[in-house]
Amino acid sequence: MNNNARKRVTVFDFLLIGFLIALTVGFVYFEGKTADGDLEVVVKKNSQVVLTETLKYVSEKKEICIDEDLDLILCLESDGVSVTGSNCPDKVCVNTGKITKPGQTIVCLPAHVSIELRGQDIEADVVVG
Amino acid sequence: MKNRSLFKSREFSIASMLSALTVVLSFLEGMLPELPVPGAKLGLANLAVMTAIDILGIKGAVCTVLVKSFFAAVTRGPAAGIMSFCGSMLSAAAMWLFLRYDKNMFGYVGIGVIGAVGHNTGQLCASFAIMGSAVLYYAPFLVVSAVLTGTFTGIINSILLPAIKKSEKYNIS
């Protein structure tokens, strides 16, 4: 059908890959610029905030059960947050490990839970007047 | 008339074969160890979807995608089914568009990357709808993993597809 068959790799492939990498690097660069003040963990379930905690005030390791059905255990430490146990099938949340920087997120899709770290300075990213 | 019906059943059998292949490939993929990026997958099933697009056009691709997402929904729950459907559908649509209309501008690797990025974008959109903006944090990781896995599937397909086309004169499209 085609006179000239499709090649394995063309110049445009490299351009496409280069563009995507550049996009990612740019995104990560700007993401990294967000200030890190006191870390605050925000836990949402079904888009509703169910728990907020400032990590600075977490003196010792604390484990909280967020979802009874799936036994989703959240582990709070003074330097970061991790999900230590879950009965969900994919275990993406547990495999994410400990998050320590603002903007990082742990998501458990089966439980509809998201755990987000925020630097408190970010709260003032829109100032009007 | 007789020829026409033969043509259809042939198309149908290829479509069902490829659909079965996507199911097997996604199952095999589930047995592989986890990639370092949370939620990222190798996208082996994309091989069969890409083959379906190339041989059967968008019809065959939609068929394989539906079977694959149904399988995901049955074995891994409805959320996984929706994610799989959104991802594969966008991926299939993007790959079809480029395979058909780019006049061989991109190579198989480029098509593979387009498919993988499409897949991850679709999944991200689905989880965005379920979870809200928190999932956007994953976006850069998913793009990088899409580039790697897309290159991988693209290279495999650049070997597979010409061979398949040569061995059988599939003049269906």
Question: Confidence band (pLDDT; 50, 70, 90) for A2?
Answer: very low
* Position B106 in a domain: yes
Q: Which of A6, A95, A103 sits opposite B38 (nearest CB)?
A: A95
pLDDT at residue A37, rounded to an integer? 60
More confident residue, A119 or B124: B124
pLDDT at residue B112, rounded to an integer? 92
pLDDT at residue B116, rounded to an integer? 93
Q: Is A1 exposed, middle or buried (0-12, 13-18, 19+ CB in 10 A)?
A: exposed
pLDDT at residue B65, rounded to an integer? 92
Question: Confidence band (pLDDT; 50, 70, 90) for B75?
Answer: confident
Question: What is the average pLDDT value for chain B, to the nearest integer?
Answer: 83
* Position B172 in a domain: no
More confident residue, A121 or A92: A92
A123 pLDDT more than 50: no
For the segment A35-51, what is each residue's pLDDT rounded down to a tens digit? 456 778 888 888 788 88
Chain A residues touching B77 at Cβ < 8 A: 89, 110
Calculate mean pLDDT across residues B72-90.
88
pLDDT at residue B70, rounded to an integer? 92
Question: What tokens appear for B70 in the block?
Answer: 């149904």
pLDDT at residue B88, rounded to an integer? 92
A1 pLDDT more than 70: no
Per mean pLDDT, which range of A40-44, B137-141, B142-146 is the poorest?
Answer: B137-141
CATH number assigned to the domain comprising residue B162 = 1.10.1760.20
Residue pair B99/A72 in contact (Cβ under 8 Å)? The answer is: no
**Residue B64 to residues A36, A61, B24, B36, B167: CA-CA distances in angstroms?**
46, 48, 12, 28, 22
Collapsing DSSP to helix, strand or coil, A82 comes out as strand
Domain ranges for chain A, please list them: 39-124
Chain B residues touching A8 at Cβ < 8 A: 107-109, 154-155, 158
**Residue A107 to residues A22, A33, A72, B155: CA-CA distances in angstroms?**
26, 23, 11, 32
pLDDT at residue B97, rounded to an integer? 92
Residue A2 near chain B (CB below 8 Å): yes
Look up the ipTM and state it: 0.75
Q: Which of A17, A104, A114 sits opposite B131 (nearest CB)?
A: A114
A3 pLDDT more than 50: no
For the segment A16-38, what is each residue's pLDDT rounded down to a tens digit? 999 998 988 887 777 665 545 67
pLDDT at residue B39, rounded to an integer? 62
| Domains of chain B: total | 1
Quick check: B131 and A5 CB within 8 A?
Answer: no
**Residue B34 to residues A30, A117, B41, B144: CA-CA distances in angstroms?**
28, 24, 8, 16
Structural domain of B14:
2-167
Question: What tokens appear for A78 in the block?
Answer: 């003074």
Closest-CA distance, A63 to chain B, in angstroms, reads 22
Q: Which of B38, B106, B151 sits opposite A92 (nearest CB)?
A: B38
Q: Which of B79, B83, B106 sits opposite A13 (nearest CB)?
A: B106
Count CB pairs under 8 A between chains A and B: 108
Substitution target from B108, B109, B123 for chain A, most A beta carbons within 10 A: B109
Substitution target from A9, A30, A100 for chain B, most B beta carbons within 10 A: A9
How far is Cα A26 from Cα B144, in angstroms, rounded to an integer?
13
For the segment B1-57, what is each residue's pLDDT rounded down to a tens digit? 445 555 577 788 888 889 999 999 888 887 777 666 666 677 788 889 988 988 888
Per mean pLDDT, which range of A34-38, A63-67, A106-110, B89-93 is the poorest?
Answer: A34-38
More confident residue, B42 or A81: A81
* Position B173 in a domain: no
Instruction: Choose which CATH entry (2.60.320.10, 3.40.50.1360, 3.40.50.300, 3.10.20.30) describes domain A39-124.
Output: 2.60.320.10
B170 pLDDT more than 70: no
Per mean pLDDT, which range of A66-70, B67-71, B102-106, B133-137 is the poorest?
Answer: B133-137
pLDDT at residue A127, rounded to an integer? 52
A69 pLDDT more than 60: yes
Quick check: B147 and A17 CB within 8 A?
Answer: yes
